[in-house]
Chain A
Amino acid sequence: MPDTAIDSPEFIQTQKQFAQSIRDPLSSSNDAQFEERRLKIYRELFFNNVEGFVSSAFPVLKEILVDQHDESFWLDLVRQFFVQHQCETPYFLEISEEFLQFLQALMESESDSQLPAYSWQLAHWEWMELHADVACTNFHAHIDVIERAITECEVDVGRDRLGMRL
């Protein structure tokens, strides 16, 4: 809980706690004593919604991770995103961009990550594909760059050499 919560009005604290109990059911207490089956509706609706956005944006990444590990490895990754990453965008199509940022930070911070080294590049490529369909600007030039990057990744070239950020 951030320090600011200490001085904030009670309704703000109530609402923050409720949001937190939806985000992270395992490490939040049910202080307000909500009926479990009612709380469960929020937890499932919210998580399934976010998981749906991330899955539909990154179908190949999901498939590879489920193949290499299992379904729960993927769900745990999305849960980690939902709990740890503060999404700034109000736009649903840009949740994918938030996930990319999360993935990048995650791979930089975890030297022993169980994610394949090319995960971020692959996700970036999938993001470009999705956005080529809806974007106002022309993304095809970007896709060429990413495709080349992915080819290079297969011989294990570090992502910092790509020299591009969102």
Chain B
Amino acid sequence: MTNSHISGAGLGLRRGMLDEMAQLTRNDVDFLEVAPENWIGVGGRYGKAFSEFAERFPFVFHGLSLSIGSPDPLDEAFVRQVKDFMKQHNVLLYSEHLSYCSADGHMYDLMPLSFTEETVQYVSQRIRRVQDILEQPIAMENVSSYVTLPGSMNELSFMQAVLEEADCRMLLDVNNVYVNSINHGFDPEAYIRALPSDRIDYIHIAGHFDEAPDLLVDTHGAEVKNEVWRLLEIAYKQHGVLPTLLERDFNFPELSELQREVNQIKRCQQAQESNSESIYA
């Protein structure tokens, strides 16, 4: 079962696009997503605008700074601030990255973990602590990476082990699966099929940049590629239709262009739903 309060197709809410996005209705997008780090403590006209969006749309929080696998201590005060902010705006779902973004201080971007059994124990214990403080589960996202840190496990078995050990949820980023499959040489379909359906809360889809034939960079700055749309279909076939969010963080096109991709998500979802209906009819 998924978190039932969101469904359909979502879009990230960006401070730079607030005015344009104000015209959106629930017919255009089913839910919105923000990084709480960009909005906690923000008042003035931005804070007011955010509250208005939060009243009109279901929201999910997608964190950036939790740094769950960091050598630095877990910032529990920060987790409590996220919890308060979720309560304030009635947000029910919090996702984060299975990675780290600090080591002797914050570095504000994501680094891949060293995949070992010890790391599984360390990260899972920290996830459980976060879930205890929040009094709810969190969803961990598979992140894109460009190097493999020394370690005895592969990415898939690491992800599976953490989901079990931490008893947490998952955010499946199909673009990251594709990017990593090229960067590290594995089968993206097999990766997606091997994930536990009952733990996936929602899906991310995004564009990437082709640095070289064997090196893709997860920029969130371009339109979604065909190979990634195909992986989304495979994910739906394997795990059922899940709420899916389009990520776009750079090179913003017109809102109508993003809407076109959101609509494509909706069409994928409808196609899969009618397929499964015809199977069971």
Asked if residues A39 and B42 are in contact (CB atoms below 8 Å), the reply is no
Q: Mark A79-120, 1 if CB is under 8 A from B, else 0.
A: 000100111111111010000000000000000000000000
* B107:A23 contact, CB within 8 angstroms: yes
Whole-angstrom distance between the Cβ of A137 and the nearest chain B Cβ: 7
Which of A40-48, A66-74, A147-155, A156-164 is the contact stretch? A40-48
Distance from A83 Cβ to chain B, minimum over Cβ atoms (Å): 10
Chain B residues with Cβ below 8 Å from A12 are 71, 122
Question: Which of B44, B75, B114, B119 is close to A134, meaning CB atoms less than 8 Å apart?
Answer: B44
B178 interface residue per 8 A CB criterion? no
Interface string of B24-48 (1 = CB under 8 A from A): 0000000000000110111110110
Main secondary structure of the interface of A (DSSP, over half): helix
Among A10, A22, A85, A87, contact of B111 (Cβ-Cβ < 8 Å): A22
A15 at the interface (CB under 8 A from B): yes
Say whether B217 contacts A11, CB under 8 Å: no
Set of chain A residues within 8 Å of B40, measured between Cβ atoms: 91
Q: Which one, A11, A23, A87, A133, contacts B114 given CB within 8 A?
A: A11
- The answer to whether A14 touches B149 (Cβ under 8 A) is yes
B76-116 vs A, CB cutoff 8 Å, 1 = contact: the mask equals 00100000000000000000000010111111110101101
Distance in angstroms between the alpha carbons of A29 and B118 in the assembled complex: 25
**Is A87 within 8 A of B106, CB to CB?**
yes
Q: Which of A1-47 contact B (CB under 8 A)?
A: 2, 8-12, 14-16, 18-20, 22-23, 32, 34-35, 37-39, 41-42, 45-46
- Nearest A residue (CB) for B82: A90
Q: Given the complex of chains A and B, what is the CA–CA distance between A85 and B114 in angstroms? A: 25
Distance of A132 Cα from B114 Cα, bound (Å):
41
Tell me how many residues of B have a C-beta within 8 Å of chain A: 44
Closest partner residue, chain A, to B45 (CB atom): A133
- Are the C-beta atoms of B71 and A93 separated by less than 8 Å? no
Whether the pair A90, B75 counts as a contact (CB closer than 8 A) is: yes
Closest Cβ neighbor of A52 among chain B residues: B108
A37 contact from B100, B151, B215, Cβ within 8 A: B215
Say which residue of A18, A93, A136 sits within 8 Å of B149 (CB atoms).
Answer: A18
User: Whole-angstrom distance between the alpha carbons of A82 and B109 in the complex?
Assistant: 13
Contact B106 A135 (CB under 8 A): no
> Are B103 and A19 interface neighbours, CB within 8 A?
yes
Q: Within 8 Å of chain A (Cβ to Cβ): is B147?
A: yes
Question: Are the CB atoms of A20 and B103 closer together than 8 Å?
Answer: yes
Flag if A89 contacts B106 (CB, 8 Å).
Answer: yes
Residues of A within 8 A of B70 (CB): 15
Answer whether residue B150 sits at the interface, using C-beta atoms and an 8 A cutoff.
yes
Tell me, in angstroms, the Cα distance from A8 to B73 when the chains sit together.
13
Type the 1/0 row for B48-83, where 1 means its CB is closer than 8 Å to any CB of A: 000000000000000011110111000100100000
B186 contacts chain A at the CB level, 8 A cutoff:
no
Known A-B contacts A38-B146, A136-B41; the reply to A46 vs B47 at CB < 8 A is no
Report chain A residues within 8 Å CB of B66: 90
Contacts of B116 in A (CB 8 A): 10-11
Besides A34-B147, A87-B106, A93-B38, 9 more A-B contacts (Cβ < 8 Å) are A11-B122, A15-B71, A16-B71, A19-B102, A32-B149, A38-B147, A46-B108, A82-B107, A134-B44
A contacts, CB < 8 Å to B: 2, 8-12, 14-16, 18-20, 22-23, 32, 34-35, 37-39, 41-42, 45-46, 49-50, 53, 82, 85-93, 95, 132-137
